[in-house]
Amino acid sequence: MVTIIDLLAWRVMQYADRGYITSSLTVASFFLFLHEIRNKKMCGIWAIFGSPDDTSIQCNAAHKITHRGPDAFRIETIHHFPTCCLGFHRLAIVDDLQGMQPMRVFRYPHVWLIYNGEIYNHQELQKEFDFHYATKCDGEAIIHLYAHGGIEFAAKHLDGVFSFCLLDTANRKVFLGRDTYGVRPMFRLYNDNGFLAVCSEAKGLIGLSQEAYSEHVEPFLPGHVESYKLDMLGKASFEERIRFHKVGEAPAYKTVAEIQDKNDVEENIRILLEAAVEKRLMAERRIGCLLSGGLDSSLVASILVKKAKEMKLSYRIQTFAIGMENSPDLLAARKVANFLETEHHEVVFTPEEGIAALEDVIYHLESYDVTTIRASVGMFLLSKYIKEKTDTTVILSGEGSDEIAQGYIYFHNAPSATDADIESKRLCEDLYMFDVLRGDRSTSAWGLEIRVPFLDHKFSSYYLSLSDSIKQPQKGIEKYLLRSAFDGIDLLPTDILWRPKEAFSDGVSSKTRSWFEILQEFICEQVNDSDLESTALTYKHNTPRTKEALYYRQIFEKFYPGQGDWIPYYWMPKWTGATDPSARTLKHYKQ
């Protein structure tokens, strides 16, 4: 299959051979450019089936997620399926055959695929099953796996993060799927009239249906696949939902990294986390790392720098930190960056900038959860800086470690090791509504792609399988096992490796005034006591108990009226009498 990119490459080589291009650097730069445009994968998907309205009008809703892929857009109707439509947003695409979606391949012309994500084992799958790929896109593996063994078989064999919508026109079927932790988002709207709509973000579905029924947009459950049958009018009828993978289960696919000694737990943790970072370097793009100076992001950054040197990447790794003037996070991140010799960027934000960002943050998050919003402001502003001031687009982050490795301070209060393990797995199950959501939306708002090694299937399933007692906080230190696994190997400064957990409100705060206090002072001026007293009459689900919660809920309802059930509860620490999610309210905090 010859593509535009291949023709361009062939022409450049011709000119170089004939002496028209004399600089080897020019040729090398051109091919680096081709690799970059071939491999940009941050995107947004949108689709409707059985539409009762004019699809040419409804497809305008797809533009609400343009930020996820601002450089290319395609909307496509399907022959013989006039009430169906597929939409796709992508970054900087030139070749529609190898990169643009909906994706189709000659071998299976009846299969249409739109997906958002990265399939890290696509080359291993090609070798294992003798697949004949028509493109160089990792997502093509989904089509071949489906053709080989069905949709559940396909989802089980994917090592990566993904949300997808696959249309099989030969069998008149639609299949939806999402990765185990919900790292890549997807929402669905479905009703008894046979109308099915899916989108990477809920905003692409709000107001889509004009019929006289209550539209119910809901997040697609991670670790599941669903199948729908299309009738001759293209209307969808739900068939079944299958959970193909659970948090903590070992993956079904073959993995490259295997533990060497079952008894050497710390060595195994190092092997699997390093492998998780390494596979996430699958990109011909500049890769950077968010760096707060805490344990999780510092570990990821240190492994990233190590792997970049081994792979002889042509650029220095960029690291990015944000905080108020002289905040603890900025100082700690600076120390890590100096140790790792990264190209470090510091963003200092003011209280006014943080407050001004709140409404945009809530719009992009599609959440009113208090702690999620507080923590998202910094990441949102930092992502804006990365997009506008650097050429890094893929960023690694430490999300997921607190849930996997029991890193929250309230784990010190767990009644037993068993209770702590149950809580850890519960947090992992719900990550897609909180920290994973924060990471995706804060970065995708600015067209960036976040990757989270701690939620690697192999690493997380191994760590969660360890005995309950070994995973608990020890010697008054949370994530003791994870820290000790990397102790003594000079990967990080010792004081960073053993730095206590820092609440976001304090980590980014100046020494004189915390982000937490700034928010309370501002919101108290925006919300009256009487408004809070009557809030139970307005919001029966997740009734706001504080002025801050009410303020966020009011903004949320302005954008997404009546959709408060997208989150089942406010994130709160367990085993405490706390009335606020901030770690600063806990007895053990900075003890």
Residue labelled with tokens 């849930």? 403
Q: Is 398 annotated among the ligand-binding residues?
A: yes
**C-beta separation of 464 from 272 below 8 A:** no
Q: Is 322 annotated among the ligand-binding residues?
A: yes
SS3 label, residue 332: helix
- Provide, for the chain, the percentages of residues in helix, strand and coil under a 3-state DSSP scheme, each rounded to the nearest 5: 45, 20, 40
At 202, the amino acid letter reads A
| Beta-ladder partners of 44 | 89
For the record, the structure tokens of 19 come out as 């002496």
190: closest CA among 213, 167, 173?
213
Known catalytic residue at 43: yes
Q: Is 138 annotated among the ligand-binding residues?
A: yes
Quote the DSSP letter at residue 474: B
H or E element in which residue 385 lies: helix 370-389
At 231, the amino acid letter reads D
Angle, CA 166 vertex, CA 160 and CA 167 arms, to 5°: 170
C-alpha–C-alpha distance, residues 54 and 58, integer Å: 6
**Phi (first) and psi of residue 288, to 5 degrees:** -130, -170
H or E element in which residue 266 lies: helix 265-279
Quote the radius of gyration of the chain (alpha carbons, Å): 24
Beta pairing class for 287-290 and 72-78: unpaired
C-alpha–C-alpha distance, residues 409 and 425, integer Å: 16
SS3 label, residue 70: strand
C-alpha–C-alpha distance, residues 453 and 566, integer Å: 26
Q: Is 233 annotated among the ligand-binding residues?
A: no
Beta pairing class for 318-323 and 343-348: parallel
C-alpha–C-alpha distance, residues 429 and 466, integer Å: 18
C-alpha–C-alpha distance, residues 178 and 222, integer Å: 5
SS3 label, residue 237: strand
Q: Which of 43, 165, 199, 428 is catalytic?
A: 43
C-alpha–C-alpha distance, residues 349 and 347, integer Å: 6
H or E element in which residue 177 lies: strand 173-178
Q: Is 119 annotated among the ligand-binding residues?
A: no
Angle, CA 361 vertex, CA 397 and CA 441 arms, to 5°: 40
For the beta sheet containing 81-90, the strands, ordered from the edge strand earlier in sequence to the opposite edge, are: 72-78, 81-90, 43-49, 196-199, 187-190, 217-219
At 104, the amino acid letter reads R
For the record, the structure tokens of 551 come out as 């303020």
Give yes or no for a cis peptide into 102 (omega within 30° of 0): yes
Count of helices and strands (H, E) across the chain: 23, 17
The crossing angle, in degrees rounded to 10, of helices 370-389 and 351-365 is 100
Angle, CA 217 vertex, CA 216 and CA 222 arms, to 5°: 130
The crossing angle, in degrees rounded to 10, of helices 295-311 and 265-279 is 70
Catalytic residues: 43
Known binding residues for L-glutamine: 138
